[in-house]
Structure formats: C-alpha cells, structure tokens
Structure 1
Amino acid sequence: MVNLGGSEIAGRLREMLNEIKELPEFRLNKLYDLAAILIAIREVKAVPTLVVIGHDLFLLPERLRSWLLWKAGSYGGTPETEKLCSAVTKIFEDLIGTLERVAECIEKSEVLEDKDFSEALKTIEGTVNALPSPRE
C-alpha cells in the first residue's frame, strides 16, 4: 500500500505550478493533471469543493491558451491591447496564486474541509466566468 502525505501531494502540485509558470502557453495541459489530483483527493477525503475546483480546472487550459498566445504575440501594441494583456496576466497570476494556496492548505491541514477551499473555489469560478471559450 502506498501512503501519500499532504506535503508530498502539495510538493508535486507546486512543481506542476512552477512548470506552468515557466511556459504557460505550452504547459497549460498540466492543469488537467492538477485537476485529476484534486478530484482524487476529494474521492479519498470527501471534500466536494475539490471536485468542483477540479472540474473548473478542466475548462481553463482551452480558455487560457488562446489568450496567452494572443498576449505573447501582441507586445508593443496599442494602449488598449496593452491593457487587455495586463488583464490576462493578472487573471493568470491570480489563478496560479490561488492554486498555490490550495497546495498550502493540503500540506498544512490535519483534516481537509470544504471551508478550507471556499475562497479558492470563488476565485477559480470567477476565472472561468471571466474568460470566454475560444469558440465564443
């Protein structure tokens, strides 16, 4: 039997987040893996909020990738373009910061509860709602 502790899980989540931060346009697929880990934790620890966060994370790579690629190709544009690029950067940084707090909570909590992840859920759902899908 394999026993995984909160610090091991949190460490792997942080590694994945660092990989995403390095090259977000090309490593956003790591969010799928991260979502799967959170959903698995929910199955073991009965924390329904984690499954909702996980499902929301499954939506984000598709929505974020086109914006991040667009942002990378639009440097030196008009003030309006720069403002939009700043907004996309802030949304991405907020998402990464929120997921880092989720990892911290998994690492430090003796018992995981829904309330531990309620702020993260609000932020991630806000991100999903703020970014239209590429088809829209």
Structure 2
Amino acid sequence: MTDLMRLFTRAHKLLRAATDEAMSRYGVRVGQNLVLEVLWEQDGLTPGELAERLGVATPTIVKSASRMATAGLVERRRDPTDGRLVRIHLTEHARSVQQDIARARADLAAHAFATLTAAERKHLESALVKIIDRMQSPAG
C-alpha cells in the first residue's frame, strides 16, 4: 500500500469514527446524516431518488431507511397516487435535530480542517472530486 493510500485510509477511519460519535448524540448513525440532509432539502423521496442523489445503490437506501425507521427518524409511506411506490418521510424527531446535526458537522469540519489553509482546502476538495469521478468511471 502506498503512503498516500495508507494516509487516506487512516484519515477516513478517524473522520468516520468522529462523525459517528458526533451524530450518535442525536440518535443518528454515520451515513444516516447524509440521508437526512437530502430529506431536509426535499422530504418524501423514494428510495431510488435518494440513492441517485447520494450516489449509492437503492438497496443501500432501503436497508438504511429500515434502520432509520426503527430509530424513529423516518417513516415509510405508500405514495398516494401510485401505491407501488414507497416514499421516505422525516419524523418530527428528525426535523428537531436538523440544526444540532448541522452544528455538529460544522464543528467537526472546523476541527478536522483547522490546520489547512484556504488554498489547501480548495486543493483537497478538488483532488477528492477527481478521485471520486475516476473511481466511478469504468476501469480500463
């Protein structure tokens, strides 16, 4: 493993653990905060719509939504005009923690990036976007 891959893996693990700790205070697991962010923008999306916006597979969203429903964060409801569709809706609890989650994420980002200059942040963001784009394209 190259030094860059080792560093990237270590940074990812540390950020994931810190995010999970910060989100768990509000009954939210790491990754679920991303689903919530999309639903805070537009509530009542289907699992497929959520998956598309987050760049993940629909079964990933279905599994996450099941866990989130058990945790009291979302409700699954049949679409009133097309009974074949299920829509994911925020609960009052999920709405009530929106500002807390946003603040926790901002605090975490401020801590994680405190030693980076504005230029370094911009370069890091650009590099990560390039890595994501490359990894999402077919190999070969």
TM-score (norm 2): 0.27
Higher helix proportion, which one? Answer: 1
- Larger radius of gyration between Structure 1 and Structure 2: 2
| Greater strand share, structure number | 2
